[in-house]
A and B are shown apart, each in its own frame.
Chain A
Amino acid sequence: MSDSLLKTPLHAWHVKQGGRMVEFGGWSMPVQYTSIIAEHQATRNAVGIFDVSHMGRFWFSGDNVDSVIDGLLTRRVAGLEPGKIRYSLMCRDDGCILDDVLFYNLAGYRPNQPFMMVVNAGNRKKIFDWITSQMAGKGIRVEDRTPDTTMIAVQGPLACQAVASLADSDPAQLAYYTGRSGTVCGHPAIISRTGYTGEDGCELILESEFAEQVADEILGRVRGDGGMPAGLGARDTLRLEAAMPLYGHELTESTNAAQTGLKFAINLKNREFIGSAAVRRAMDDKGLPVRVGLKLEGRRAARENCEVFSNGNRIGVVTSGTFSPTLNQSISMAYLTPDGAVSGTSVEVDIRGSKVAAEVVDLPFYSRK
């Protein structure tokens, strides 16, 4: 593997755990340690421990950070209360998507820097430059602390209790999409009730030097219950079952935010943001392809760019697909023209030259009880 790849503070830990390292977004990351299906099931039934340190972490300083950043996000964050975290899209002027991000208001971890943002690994430089240029002259500074910090997602039905036993409080006391400054293994940490698996759990942000100790301690607490480290492979199958979009697949610079179906993440009421006019127009355009779920016959997965047909006509394209370990069948997300994007519609997916029958279904494919 190329030495030019970035390494997270847990790189040596992954290798020690038997991680199979691959390139992702410029980083060397574990795709799996044992088996994707085993790591997937461990997360659904017990705990999966994911290194998400490759995600970009920016801290803001200055006055009125929330009001200024509000102008860059599809979701309202002006006046965001302390402890709250918002998932949002970030658009260009044309309404197409630069990234999907989490914006936090969490006083306490960094003095005078309550506001932070987590962005996708592959978009880190792009978004840093975008924010910097858009905020020029507004008295706000953004600091990229990705290399100095670690981010560990602890996901699964037993995740919160495992972290509670190591932290100064129980993450299960936090509402979803809230967080707080606290301690984990005695070290300062941001603890949030967030994740990307469709499972309960939390995410921890700490200074890099504590990464290995915290990962070891969590693993020690969960191993007896079937918990294990989980790689990018399981992260992808888990998020796909939960129908969470992935940047570069469901979300791209040629996808308008209005097409994503992420209504909760787009607030056009009495506010303007970069791209809002174009998103409004796209909301009214009933011809644009929209995001749907597909359940395919059999176990063969449709992958990105497989074409979708209805009565012989091409009606769209698959953006992600996999074999779903939970449903034991092949699932995909796709963008289809609106007349074909109706649940229950029978379609065909062209998988490397053969047509496979599929049905348009409501998202998500999986939601926890």
Chain B
Amino acid sequence: MNPEQLLYAETHEWVHLEDKGGQKIATVGITAHAVEQLTDLVYMELPQPGSSVSSGTSFGEVESVKATSNLYSPVTGEVVEVNSDLPDNLERLNSDPYGSAWIMRVRVTDEDALAKLMNHTAYAKQIAG
């Protein structure tokens, strides 16, 4: 996915939105900047498919050699799919953070929460500041 066309949360997750059969499906991952800051990733915990996630709250965790960090959901809805290959192939977060290292897909149930997300320009400004 082209990072310039994604939406971003302050907490360094990216979102790709698409309409599928009238439903809004969000694909969620973490940004290259987040991966670079975390370094040495060794473990990731994914949410259960079918579980609910809520914008701004933790849906999983990622662990580096040094520390454990929460993953915060940028959207509100139901988890419909998770990238179960990812925890055993965390190097994909370095090589392809906006593609094969996607983390979960969520059926969005509250579109109002999407208004808080930033475009690429705004996110680039945040991480530069």
Contacts and interface: CB of A to CB of B under 8 A. Distances in A.
Interface in B56-73: 61, 63-66, 68
Contact of A301 (B39, B42, B45): B42
Contact of B40 (A37, A300, A352): A37
A237 B65 CA distance: 8
Contacts of B45: 300
Contacts of A323: 40, 42-43, 63, 65
A36 B65 CA distance: 7
A32 interface: yes
Contact of B39 (A36, A300, A322): A36
A237 B61 CA distance: 21
A301 B43 contact: yes
B63 A322 contact: no
A325 interface: yes
A31 B39 CA distance: 12
Interface string A338-361: 000000000000001000000000
Contacts of B68: 301, 303, 352
Contact of A32 (B39, B42, B43, B61): B39
Interface in B37-93: 39-40, 42-43, 45, 61, 63-66, 68
Interface string A262-294: 000000000000000000000000000000000
Interface string A295-334: 0001111010000000000000000001101000000000
Sorting the interface of chain B by its residue count into under 10, 10 to 19, 20 to 34 or 35 or more gives 10 to 19
Nearest to B66: A233
Interface residues of A, number: 17
| Listed residue (B42, B43, B68) with the most chain A CB atoms within 10 angstroms of its CB | B42
Contacts of A36: 39-40, 64-66
Contacts of A31: 66
Nearest to A40: B65
Contacts of B64: 36
A303 B40 CA distance: 16
A236 B42 CA distance: 16
Interface in B13-58: 39-40, 42-43, 45
A37 B43 contact: no
B97 to A, nearest CB: 16
B45 to A, nearest CB: 8
B66 A300 contact: no
A37 B65 contact: yes
List of 10 A-B pairs having minimum Cβ-Cβ separation, nearest first: A323-B42, A300-B43, A36-B65, A299-B42, A299-B43, A36-B40, A37-B40, A233-B66, A323-B65, A35-B39
Given A36-B65, A301-B43, A322-B65, 5 more contacts: A31-B66, A299-B63, A323-B42, A323-B43, A352-B61
24 contacts: A32-B39, A32-B66, A35-B40, A36-B39, A36-B40, A36-B65, A37-B40, A37-B65, A233-B40, A236-B66, A299-B43, A300-B42, A300-B43, A300-B45, A300-B63, A301-B63, A301-B68, A303-B68, A322-B65, A323-B40, A323-B42, A323-B63, A325-B65, A352-B61
